């Protein structure tokens, strides 16, 4: 998931979609220098990472942002980080006594 976000184009797509309103590929390609094909490829990467979901409306795919993947990844990192704070604090006490 981090790899999915570690790309400027994909990050820009996520920011566009993070308002909550689903958008079509046409809308998402609108103010981009990239082709529809390139944007679609990026959207599929985001979809595989669980950051966006697509649904078909007639002949069109619409993409929507799913916050859960990012929230969970962030929360997980925060938990591990907090554990390290506690663990390293014990190291500090141990070597300084």
Partner 1 sequence: MTDRIEKHLDLNAPIDRVWRALTDHREFGQWFGVRLEGPFVPGEVSRGRVTHPGYEHVVWQARIKAIVPQTLFSFTWHPYGVDKDVDYSHETPTLVEFRLEPTAGGAGTRLHMTESGFDGVPAARRAEAFRMNEGGWTQQMKNIETHLAAAR
* Residues at the contact surface with partner 1, assessed by CB under 8 A: 1-3, 5-6, 11-12, 14-15, 18, 50, 67, 69-81, 83-85, 87-88, 90-96
Choose between 21 and 36: whose C-beta lies nearer to partner 1: 21
Helices 36-48, 8-17: crossing angle, 10 deg rounding: 80
DSSP H or E stretch at residue 39: helix 36-48
We find the least distance from the C-beta atom of residue 34 to partner 1, in angstroms, to be 17
Do the Cβ atoms of 69 and 33 come closer than 8 Å? no
We find the least distance from the C-beta atom of residue 36 to partner 1, in angstroms, to be 23
Choose between 53 and 92: whose C-beta lies nearer to partner 1: 92
Q: How far apart are CA 86 and CA 97, in angstroms?
A: 17
């Amino acid at each position: 998931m981090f790899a999915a976000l570690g790309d400027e184009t994909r990050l820009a797509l996520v920011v566009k979609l993070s308002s909550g309103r689903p958008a079509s590929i046409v809308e998402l390609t609108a103010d981009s220098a990239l082709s529809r094909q390139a944007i679609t490829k990026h959207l599929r990467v985001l979809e595989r990472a669980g950051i966006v979901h697509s649904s078909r409306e007639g002949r069109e795919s619409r993409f929507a942002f799913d916050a859960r993947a990012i929230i969970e990844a962030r929360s997980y990192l925060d938990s591990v980080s907090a554990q390290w704070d506690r663990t390293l604090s014990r190291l500090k006490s141990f070597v300084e006594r």
